[in-house]
Structure 1
């Protein structure tokens, strides 16, 4: 039902290239989810990897934003974004296709798998920076929220359906074959992107300008740091992500050890959270039609913080209810995950749309990369701190720290609507 509603709205106001771009992005999201599931399975089942090796593989897939995020932003701003996305999709397809080929000739090793993960991770960074900077070139300003909401709905559906589909496929065929399906998805993505028309200015005649990459990276950082609105959003996102990671790092311990509920409950909780994100993406355009972006962003963070409180509350109840009293803790976890994801996705769609509106077109990728580096950079520190605090003060007290921090991150958003209006004087900030 949600897909048909969104699909009908696409033809109303979004640019003619958006439906194909949306489909390409959805296929790319599914490909990423397939890879995140299938690559570790290949390592474990085909190469007999242990916990440490699987950890290295996951790190290889996720650390690339910290390594190449800022250079990727400057590079993407120099070149056509659609061409960058097509190139990144092709690179991922070719590299992933090497896995089943190497497996078929009995040459696949963990070293090869690590190399594949790193290349796929780097290509994903370039794709993500270009994709988030591309929306203003294919939809009119008034439709940016709607476009981002649809893209987020695809991400949420992929988050729920991608791993499930990969798991189902893994029961029928071997993991390297699933990787081949993943590679094919990126081929389809590149093909769809090749047919998209946009309004991005031509880069011809600009490629030879004397501007070093390092200088352009620094210009992007300075732009974000010197822009009152973007600087505030960057701080809010970094701090919010820090406390969210603090809490989410300890959630498996809460569910599996403190409450003793098992991995099945963990899967149900995460699945329900995805539904909350999907609902947020479907309702956000209507909410933004009535309220200004700053109020919507603040409400999203408050909802996420209030819902997060359900996790330590469930942990506090678990030990006092006995072995049969699991209904209330489970209900709290489900409600908490649903509301937390709803609030986080509401905030995320609104803030991405605001950033796309206020940023000059030639700075979009560098702005995106700079903010993403701050956001992603907070995650390792929060995870380490969560482990240290959790082992010393306990899982539940540490989760309460995350809740308090989540609430506090909404405070800097007070007065943001004034900054948004000042940054976009010609636009209706509620449109």
Structure 2
């Protein structure tokens, strides 16, 4: 990876892109702690309400994901990313303002997160499609790994910082930091010099046919189809898991915000290590096998969390299990993500990247919304243990879909 990193430093535009992603990641890591604390402790939400609020930011992917994905292939991606970052910053910035004015409640928070999700649909589709225009395709795995490393570093420091900030200045004020990070992101992205093909503008084509082309490519491709389906199941399970875990940790175990942030931070450390190893693993074993092996670690991690919930103990042993489980979860995420993104970017023509990314992300986030609501509902009806056991089963299904497909040989040498 060393030679690739050296080469990346010479690629015009990658440094501001990477810096923007890093700044945004640190802000988002703070919100990863602050938003659950806001919803569970400040707004006193029930498990179902926690799921509904978590789902609010994912619903726009179901409503607008395919449409925006097709639109991304029609317009320059850099200005779209700049405006999406500005809108995300403005949306999050309203939370502390509304709280200060005494107007913040559960449903207002859900509405704000819905608008944030709309901007995120465009932002993520644009950023994933812009990177291959900045970085040569042979360097995509190294570039994605660098972005993942920054994200992992943010997940390491951000949650712990978020927990401390929430304890000192309250959750709404901590969320304001994430709002600022998106505005800095917009400024940095605006500085990127990149040539975007005017061929991306297709005034003669219809959005409906463009969307259909993206669906056919994604779900008709021998490798992308099982990868996408496995990833969809992963998002369903992960959203349910995090919804249940937030309530389980903060209410059932009554963990302080700083400890909750520390558990998530351990996952960030492990993600950083996994992201560092990701390019070597992809080269040594192939992207497909690396992804499958990483996905096999998730059910192991969440089975351990399930056992901790079933044991119904609040002692140090239970907390230690949570730390270890999130470490396993984080390492798996670090190993697989760069390989998954690079595989998708490498096999997809540039003219289809926006639609492919939009299609996959739309389905991912739609199922994440279902998972968040479903996780809260199952927890309400059947309790922590049953909900976490169901999550583990879905993670197993994601592994089986990937393992029983041509993905096994994708990227192998």
Shorter-chain TM-score: which interval?
Answer: 0.7 to 0.9
| Gap runs ≥5 in structure 2 | none
Corresponding residue number in structure 2 for 1:362: 351
For 1:425, the equivalent position in structure 2 comes to: none
Partner of 1:185: 181
1:300 maps to what in 2?
294
After TM superposition, give the deviation of residue 40 of structure 1 in Å.
8.8
- What are the superposed Cα offsets for residues 74-124 of structure 1, whole Å, 9 maximum, x if unpaired? 1111111112112222334556667788999x7977798776544433222
Larger mean Cα displacement after TM superposition, 337-346 or 385-394: 385-394
Mean Cα displacement is larger for which, 387-396 or 49-58? 49-58
Is the Cα–Cα contact under 8 Å of residues 99 and 108 in structure 1 kept in the other structure? no
CA shift for structure 1 position 224: 1.2
Query: What stretches of structure 1 of length at least 5 have no aligned partner?
Result: 422-428
Q: Which residue is 1:142 aligned to?
A: 138
Q: Distance in 2 between matches of 1:289 and 1:281?
A: 13
Superposition deviation, residue 374 in structure 1: 1.6
Bigger CA drift: 309-318 or 284-293? 309-318
Q: Which residue of 2 aligns with 1:416?
A: 406
CA–CA separation in structure 2 for the residues paired with 1:241 and 1:291: 25
Contact kept? 1:305, 1:404, Cα under 8 Å: yes
Instruction: Report matched runs for 1:52-71 at 5 Å.
Output: 60-71=56-67
Residues 64 and 125 in structure 1, CA contact (< 8 A), matched pair in contact too: yes
Give 1:291's aligned residue: 285
**1:159 Cα deviation from its structure 2 partner:** 3.3
- Tell me the CA shift for residue 23 of structure 1: 0.3
Give 1:426's aligned residue: none
Change in Cα spacing, 1:236 to 1:172, as seen in structure 2 (3 Å) is: closer
Report the alpha carbon displacement of residue 336 of structure 1 after superposing the two structures with TM: 1.3
Q: For residues 214 and 95 of structure 1, do their structure 2 counterparts lie closer, same or farther at Cα, with a shift above 3 Å needed?
A: same
Q: What is the correspondence of 1:198-237 to structure 2 with a 5 Å cutoff?
A: 198-203=194-199, 207=201, 209-237=203-231
Change (3 A) 1:82 1:306: same
Using the TM superposition, name which of 234-243 and 249-258 deviates more.
249-258
Is the 2:55–2:372 Cα contact (8 Å) retained in structure 1? no
> Distance in 1 between the 2:299 and 2:70 partners?
34
By relative contact order (CA 8 Å, sep 6+), the higher-ranking structure is 2
8 Å contact kept, 2:33–2:260: no
User: Aligned residue for 1:79?
Assistant: 75
Deviation at 1:186, TM superposition (A): 3.3
Cα distance in 1 between the residues matched to 2:392 and 2:173: 42
Map Cα deviations across residues 17-60 of structure 1 (whole Å, 9 max, x no partner). Answer: 21111001122333445566778999999xx9664899876554
Q: Which moved more, 1:238-247 or 1:64-73?
A: 238-247
* Partner deviation per Cα, 1:133-153 (whole Å, 9 max, x = no partner): 122122222221111111122
Matching residue within 3, 8, 12 for 2:7: 12
Corresponding position: 1:381 with 2:370: yes
CA contact (8 A) 2:69 2:354 kept: yes
The equivalences for 1:195-344 within 5 A come to 195-203=191-199, 207=201, 209-252=203-246, 254-255=248-249, 265-318=259-312, 326-344=315-333
Cα distance, 1:339 vs. partner?
0.4
Larger Rg: 1
1:300-325 CA-partner distances (Å, limit 9, x unpaired): 01122222221122234445xxx7xx
Normalising by structure 2, report the TM-score.
0.82
